[in-house]
Amino acid sequence: MIWELLFEPFAAYGFMRRALIGCVAIAVGATPIGVFLMLRRMSLTGDAMAHAILPGAAVGYLIAGLSLTAMTIGGLVAGMAVALFSGFVSRVTPLREDASLAAFYLISLAAGVLIVSMRGSNVDLMHVLFGTVLALDDPALILLCSIASVTTVAMALLFRPLVLECADPQFLRSVSRMSAVTHFTFLALAVLNLVGGFQALGTLMIVGIMILPAAAARFWVTTVGGMIAVGIVVAIASSMAGLLLSYHYSLPSGPAIILSAGIAYALSLIIGPVGGLIRPLPRTNTP
């Protein structure tokens, strides 16, 4: 019974196993990014980036036709450019990071729409560029796992400066030259995860897995490391639950996974011990 419900779909079908592996890779790679994005109040960056990569994808399409590799590389370049420029502007001018990011992604989006229209074709680029979790082929899996590995190593190296940068960027800037390196590496990692995830899984999937588990984890633990750990667990559990729901009840997979993560978030919001709606009685009142 339990076997049939929970494990049989994965045992019987290769595409289910691939989907799960892809989700685990995304969970490991993207959730830590999501935690830091949340702590830096940049949770909407993912959505903005989805638009920002369009011109890159369009240029890739113009050069190489409907080649996913070319379009992904193009998207990566465009996303990096937007992230770097907005990071640069926010560091050297008083404009806040969210505002400069919004400005750059709007420019980028407009350029993308223009380029696509000039070509005159109407194949829906975004549609072609964005994959689905059920159709992960070998290159897509390798891409996802590579990105997860790179992200994990980089995050491990940058963990301390990153936490400092979130907590007190002025302080970090004053004591270390690592500040700029940290900032831009982090943005690059975010773009890398987003573009790779778009290509393999679709926008909703990658942005959802990046942000929702991180937001849920916020209600369970106070330390950054703890949040990352809880976030990854929530992400993997939601992915598995979503895939199983999709399998047993014929639901579209991407939305099922994200809604599972959404339910985890809602539950955390209500019963989470750290700042959840149903708070434990304040200890200070007891004698």
The residue among 6 and 12 lying less far from other proteins, judged by its C-beta, is 12
* Token pair 């990658």 in the structure block, residue: 206
The residue among 124 and 168 lying less far from other proteins, judged by its C-beta, is 124
What is the total residue count of the chain?
287
Distances (CA, A) of 120 to 113, 116, 274: 11, 7, 53
Distances (CA, A) of 261 to 75, 147, 228, 241, 243: 27, 22, 15, 9, 12
The residue among 182 and 253 lying less far from other proteins, judged by its C-beta, is 253
Shortest Å, Cβ 145 to other proteins: 17
* Token pair 């639901």 in the structure block, residue: 251
Rounded distance between C-alpha atoms, residue 197 and residue 132, angstroms: 10
Rounded distance between C-alpha atoms, residue 17 and residue 3, angstroms: 15
Shortest Å, Cβ 238 to other proteins: 15
Residues of this chain that interact with other proteins (CB under 8 A) are 9, 12-16, 18-19, 117, 120-124, 127-128, 131-132, 134-137, 140, 243, 246-256
Shortest Å, Cβ 254 to other proteins: 6
For 61, counting Cβ atoms within 10 Å of its Cβ (0-12 exposed, 13-18 middle, 19+ buried), the class is: buried
Burial profile 41-50: b = 16 or more Cβ within 10 angstroms, e = fewer: ebbebbebbb
The residue among 193 and 253 lying less far from other proteins, judged by its C-beta, is 253
Shortest Å, Cβ 213 to other proteins: 21
Shortest Å, Cβ 1 to other proteins: 19
The residue among 108 and 246 lying less far from other proteins, judged by its C-beta, is 246
